[in-house]
């Protein structure tokens, strides 16, 4: 079985004063605190969530 490609995503922006949709997207990515990193499987759904929050998260590794 082939190994799945992953992304390392880091939250660098604060969710304070952001609307509920953006906060929910952060929680969906497993992020909720500044400088927290998560390793996520690279899927179109995850890429879309990251693209909705370019001011809050960044990809630090693949």
Instruction: Report the residue count for the chain.
Output: 62
12-27 burial by CB neighbour count: b if 16+ within 10 A, else e? eeebeeeeeebeebbe
pLDDT single digits (tens) 40-54: 999 999 999 999 999
Residue 10 to residues 2, 3, 47: CA-CA distances in angstroms?
26, 22, 13
Q: Is residue 40 part of a domain?
A: yes
Residue 62 confidence class, pLDDT cut points 50, 70, 90: confident
Q: What is the pLDDT of residue 34?
A: 94
Q: How many domains does the chain have?
A: 1
Q: Which tokens belong to 27?
A: 């929680």
Report the CATH number that the domain containing residue 56 is assigned in CATH: 3.30.1390.20
Range of the domain at 15: 6-61
Q: Is residue 30 part of a domain?
A: yes
Distance of CA 18 to the CA centre of its chain: 15
Q: Is residue 1 part of a domain?
A: no
pTM for this entry = 0.88
């Amino acid at each position: 079985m082939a190994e799945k490609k992953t992304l390392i995503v880091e939250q660098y922006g604060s969710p304070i004063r952001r609307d509920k949709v953006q906060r929910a997207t952060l929680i969906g990515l497993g992020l909720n605190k500044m400088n927290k990193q998560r390793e996520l499987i690279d899927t179109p759904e995850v890429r879309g969530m990251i693209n909705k929050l370019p001011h809050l998260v960044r990809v630090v590794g693949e």
